Amino acid sequence: MAIREIIVLPDKQLRLVSKPIESVTAEVRKLADDMFETMYDAPGIGLAAIQVAVPLRLITMDLAKKEDETGAKPRVFINPEILSSSEELSVYEEGCLSIPEYYEEVERPAQVRFRFMDLDGKVHEEDADGLFATCIQHEIDHLNGVLFVDYLSKLKRDRVLKKFTKQAKRAGE
């Protein structure tokens, strides 16, 4: 296993739409292993492959430190797809390893049903609520080039983009 570099705002790769994984190869397994190591090291509770600059539809997640519920163990979701969302909404303070040390409240559907493939190539459907629902929606967004700051007001979004653009420039000087 190896820790990979997490790309951060304003890296344009974060806006890519990731490609479906056709079969679980040794390379895909290695990617998942590396993503777990990277995610635990960060530390974070969810990671999408594009955050380590791999544009494939793969997510790792472990909510064990946060909540005792369905998502509370190491989970891999390949080609995840939301099938239905509740009308009921819930608000969580979200953060993102690609937008370090920035947290804001985001409102999303409180429950979702989704489909995914596991590392054995089996397809499952599962219901998520609570933090698990928020986290799976946040990570699936990454696969579509969407970031949680996209749900904030333009003012807040512009402010955070400016801050990270400045930081990147400073780091590059």
Q: Is 8 exposed, middle or buried (0-12, 13-18, 19+ CB in 10 A)?
A: middle
Report the residue number, 24 or 149, with the smaller CB distance to Ni ion.
149
Known catalytic membership, residue 139: yes
Residue 137 CB, nearest approach to Ni ion (Å): 11
Name residues whose C-beta falls within 8 Å of residue 139's C-beta, 6 or more positions apart in sequence. Answer: 46, 47, 48, 59, 61, 77, 80
Residue 97 CB, nearest approach to Ni ion (Å): 6
Residue 126 CB, nearest approach to Ni ion (Å): 20
Report the residue number, 61 or 96, with the smaller CB distance to Ni ion.
96
For the record, the structure tokens of 150 come out as 């996209």
Residue 138 CB, nearest approach to Ni ion (Å): 6
CA-to-CA separations, 15 to 12, 18, 73, in angstroms, rounded: 6, 9, 28
CB 164 within 8 A of CB 141: no
Report the residue number, 21 or 45, with the smaller CB distance to Ni ion.
45
Report the residue number, 32 or 96, with the smaller CB distance to Ni ion.
96
Peptide bond into 80 cis (omega under 30): no
What radius of gyration do the chain's Cα atoms show? 16
Assess 50 for contact with Ni ion (CB under 5 A): no
Q: Can you tell me which residue has the tokens 């993102």?
A: 96
Active-site entry in 22, 67, 139, 173:
139
Binding string, residues 82-101; x marks residues near Ni ion by CB under 5 A: --------------x-----
By beta carbon distance, the residue nearest Ni ion is: 96
Total number of residues binding Ni ion (CB under 5 A)?
1
Residues taking part in catalysis: 139
Q: Note the residues at the interface with Ni ion (CB under 5 A).
A: 96
